[in-house]
Amino acid sequence: MTRTESRPESTPTLRWEDAFSPAGRRLSSSAIREILKITQAPDVISFAGGLPAPELFPMDAIRQAASSVLDRYGPAALQYSTTEGHLPLREWIAARVNIPPANVQIMTGSQQGLDLLGKVLIGEGDVVLVEAPTYLGALQSFAPYGPRYLQMQTDEGGIDLDALEEQLKTTRAKLLYCVPNFQNPTGRTLSLERRRRLVELTARHGVIVLEDDPYGSLRFTGEEIPSLYELALEACGGPDGSHVVYSGSFSKVLVPGLRDAWVQAALSLVRKLVQAKQGADLHTPTFNQMIIAELVHDVMPAQIGRVKAVYGARAQTMMAEMKAHFPAGVTHTVPQGGMFLWVTVPEGLDTTPLLERAVARKVAFVPGAPFYALGGGENTMRLSFSSANDGQIARGIRALGETLHEALA
Amino acid sequence: MTRTESRPESTPTLRWEDAFSPAGRRLSSSAIREILKITQAPDVISFAGGLPAPELFPMDAIRQAASSVLDRYGPAALQYSTTEGHLPLREWIAARVNIPPANVQIMTGSQQGLDLLGKVLIGEGDVVLVEAPTYLGALQSFAPYGPRYLQMQTDEGGIDLDALEEQLKTTRAKLLYCVPNFQNPTGRTLSLERRRRLVELTARHGVIVLEDDPYGSLRFTGEEIPSLYELALEACGGPDGSHVVYSGSFSKVLVPGLRDAWVQAALSLVRKLVQAKQGADLHTPTFNQMIIAELVHDVMPAQIGRVKAVYGARAQTMMAEMKAHFPAGVTHTVPQGGMFLWVTVPEGLDTTPLLERAVARKVAFVPGAPFYALGGGENTMRLSFSSANDGQIARGIRALGETLHEALA
């Protein structure tokens, strides 16, 4: 059979662009992903990525856990398993906030939680409230489902509750998405008072809240604040009355490459997520869940301590270097935890074209604009302090300072 | 804060059923999943599930591979990695059919491939052609995207191409989904002649074909037949001209619990799948992909040999026992590979109520009706021969024979 014989003249050539569904057409490549490509030259000091520090990974403990899991469970560690997830892991998660394991669904990374929550909750045109700026990955997960984004005003303390209260008077919103602890991208944290008010206000207006909390355990300064989810448990009559849905992850406190995370929610929603997950990947890898379950009791608490200490010190180094080397008029947030801080340069200076000049000086950041669902933030940038060491931070921030001085001259 | 204080009388209670999106409402629990629950009593011999035989899992090789991966890659084995997947694994997959690795996207189980292909291709109301009966998990993956299913007529040789040709004259179909090798649920295999005709016919009508092939390597009798994908490569001008999309999996030839599979497709489609996967789970677990990549060269070929020999023998045992113990008028397919065969009982006997009587006799099967997208098949059932040993098969088929004799008496 030759090609000419088998493809008659009348055969239409398939144009994939025309074949994509409306959801498929709403997808686009992450702006950041393209940016990260240009920042990945080996001699560039990158504050651009959001990678946990690999030198802190508990390699021996994971090697040991993988082996123990195979000893203990045998072939069951590598067999199909339940969609809901490995029960001992769900029990551990549930016990943290004193809810039944039935309210916990294991996810293949918190990105899957965002995707499946988007799938079962967001219909075309539904209003989704997001911080300005917000986590880019959430925008990407929700996009295929056709949300109408509205930005919430934010200030140094995160979401501006007065502005939100006004907004909710005139807007019927379906979902409010936020990262209350050490937000990606800004590093900002929502105060207890604002949290209480957010929970009350959204309950009153019937708005579902998706609290994304991958960094919550990584507080290196200041006092712990209860999660929106915990406040809602108290205020709304337990796990099945909560309109707050909590997304947690092991990626930042253990390792990201095993892709293990979870969602805590009301049972009616968890049941729907189970159905969605059956169709999405049947279940999170059995082996990986069992490895994580081995680590949560003893290894993880110590690991969190190490990570917090290192990230806290790196954030301090970065802020000290910025103070010494950044031009006047350039400001930054002061994170109490997590992996990121947020830099604002004078109005009128666009950080996107600046990136190329920074990379020429062997330092990289992420321009802030892509983190805004509806535009804005051209004079901002995100810096990650998690994965560069002190020496790299010092050299990188100096180079970035030179870039900024030059641009502002 | 007491509950009464914090929940003013005016606060509406969130009704989750009202909050679900159209996609969420289209999801339902797998009928099989509910059925499997009643068949899981420990003393019941189950032909109901679709589990690979755990006693055949290459436990030592996997333990060894996990350890080697941690030695070789260090923390990179547990770090975030690219959405496209681990390059050495993609290269191995691509080399099997002589295409570039760029045409291969790693998936978190083939279920994820079905979900993401559904997401980017199926718009509400798009016609999706499925075999009658078809793989239930595909129906579940596609459901949220709102397809309009049409059933293709099938016979002992799988899809009836004459009937399909007639159907395509009057129907504008978007996607044709099929399992050409040792189909789940029937065990049937499409002949080379039918495959050629299917590829030609769908190319002519501009119908995208999704070839789901999890069992293709598990042929225990008869001759290998080229995949629809290979025929399309030949007929349609290479990987980027192919309207056939191929879904492959390591679940049945190595282990399912690591959740590793892939899709081969035209580059334009793979690029769109990469965007969809970014939002769905960022990437398949790094560690798991590396473990599989360790095993494909040496361990997997021997493993496939072992699995084929055992499944082939079990299929023979099951068919011999059926011949000896099933009533006249009960027929079954004769699979050349895979894990399933399909039993048809006389018209008018419904296998769904029969299940309870079978379970009372300590044997379980899956009634056939749920595998039909649009109804039918009440007098059919699926039997899996992969995970019961010869003794269990003999006892189970005898018990099932008694159940059938009683029902037909």
Q: For A43-55, how does the pLDDT look when each residue is reduced to its tens digit (9 = 90+)?
A: 999 999 889 999 9
Please indicate whether, in this complex, the C-beta atoms of A112 and B281 are within 8 angstroms of each other. Answer: yes
Contact B215, B205 (CB under 8 A): no
Which ipTM was obtained for this model? Answer: 0.95
The CATH architecture to which B29-50+301-408 belongs is: Alpha-Beta Complex (3.90)
Please, which residues have CB within 8 angstroms of residue B375's CB and are 6 or more apart in sequence? B369
pLDDT band, residue A11 (cuts 50/70/90)? low
- Does pLDDT of A41 surpass 90? no
Query: What is the pLDDT, as a whole number, of residue A12?
Result: 59
Query: What is the pLDDT, as a whole number, of residue B9?
Result: 43
A73 close to B (CB below 8 A): no
Please, which residues have CB within 8 angstroms of residue A157's CB and are 6 or more apart in sequence? A188, A189, A190, A191, A194
Helical (H) or strand (E) element with A89: helix A87-96
Please indicate whether, in this complex, the C-beta atoms of A7 and B236 are within 8 angstroms of each other. Answer: yes
Helical (H) or strand (E) element with A407: helix A390-408
Contact B287, B198 (CB under 8 A): no
Count other C-beta atoms under 10 Å from residue B162's C-beta: 9
- The packing angle between helices B299-325 and B390-408, to 10°, is 30
The beta-strand segments (E) located in A132-249 are 148-152, 154-155, 158-159, 175-178, 208-212, 244-249
B113 close to A (CB below 8 A): no
**Mean pLDDT in chain A?**
94
What does the block give as tokens for A406?
A: 């030059």
A297 close to B (CB below 8 A): no
- Burial readout A189-208 (b: 16 or more C-beta within 10 A, e: otherwise): bbeeebbbbbbbbbbebbbb
Residue of B nearest to A284 (CA): B259
User: What is the dotted CATH code of the domain comprising B59-296?
Assistant: 3.40.640.10
| Among candidate residues A136, A178, A147, the one with its CA nearest the CA of residue A161 | A178
pLDDT tens-digit readout, A293-310: 999 999 999 999 999 999
- For chain A positions 226-285, those within 8 Å of chain B (CB to CB) are 234-237, 241, 243, 251, 255-259, 266, 268-269, 271-272, 274-276, 278-285
Please indicate whether, in this complex, the C-beta atoms of A274 and B200 are within 8 angstroms of each other. Answer: no
Q: Which residues of A touch B81 (CB under 8 A)?
A: 257
Contact A239, A99 (CB under 8 A): yes
Contact A156, A150 (CB under 8 A): no
**For chain B, domain boundaries:** 29-50+301-408, 59-296
Query: What is the pLDDT, as a whole number, of residue A30?
Result: 73
pLDDT band, residue A237 (cuts 50/70/90)? confident
Distance CA(A352)–CA(A35), nearest Å, equals 10
Residue of B nearest to A254 (CA): B78
Query: What is the pLDDT, as a whole number, of residue B35?
Result: 74
Q: Which residues of A touch B17 (CB under 8 A)?
A: 268
pLDDT tens-digit readout, A368-402: 999 999 999 999 999 999 999 999 999 999 999 99
Query: What is the pLDDT, as a whole number, of residue B36?
Result: 74
Find the mean pLDDT for residues A51-64. Answer: 97
Is domain A23-57+301-408 annotated with CATH 3.40.190.290?
A: no
What does the block give as tokens for A217?
A: 């355990």
Query: What is the pLDDT, as a whole number, of residue B5?
Result: 40
Contact A288, B284 (CB under 8 A): no
Please indicate whether, in this complex, the C-beta atoms of A279 and B144 are within 8 angstroms of each other. Answer: yes
Distance CA(A194)–CA(A211), nearest Å, equals 14
Distance CA(B100)–CA(B48), nearest Å, equals 39
Distance CA(B214)–CA(A282), nearest Å, equals 15
Identity at A117, one-letter amino acid code: L
Low-confidence ranges of chain B (pLDDT < 50): 1-10
Long-range contacts of B64-71, Cβ-Cβ distance < 8 Å, separation of 24 or more: B65/B291, B65/B294, B65/B295, B65/B299, B66/A63, B66/A66, B66/A67, B66/A70, B66/B287, B66/B291, B67/A63, B67/A66, B67/A67, B68/B294, B69/B287, B69/B290, B69/B291, B69/B294, B70/A59, B70/A62, B70/A63, B70/A66
- What does DSSP say about strands B380-384 and B340-344: parallel, antiparallel, or unpaired? antiparallel
pLDDT tens-digit readout, A304-336: 999 999 999 999 999 999 999 999 999 999 999
Find the mean pLDDT for residues A176-198. Answer: 98
* Identity of the residue in B141, B241, B284 whose CB atom sits nearest the CB atom of A279: B141
Q: Is the peptide bond prior to B133 cis by the omega test (within 30 degrees of 0)?
A: yes
Query: What is the pLDDT, as a whole number, of residue B12?
Result: 59
Distance CA(B136)–CA(A370), nearest Å, equals 40
Please indicate whether, in this complex, the C-beta atoms of A77 and B236 are within 8 angstroms of each other. Answer: no
Residue of B nearest to A4 (CA): B235
A287 close to B (CB below 8 A): yes
CA distance B31 to chain A (A): 11
- For chain B positions 195-214, those within 8 Å of chain A (CB to CB) are 196, 200, 203-204, 206, 208
Percent of chain A at pLDDT > 90 equals 92
Contact B189, B220 (CB under 8 A): no
Residue of B nearest to A85 (CA): B257
The CATH architecture to which A77-297 belongs is: 3-Layer(aba) Sandwich (3.40)
CB pairs under 8 A between A and B: 300
Distance CA(A228)–CA(A350), nearest Å, equals 35
Positive or negative: CA dihedral B310, B312, B317, B321: positive
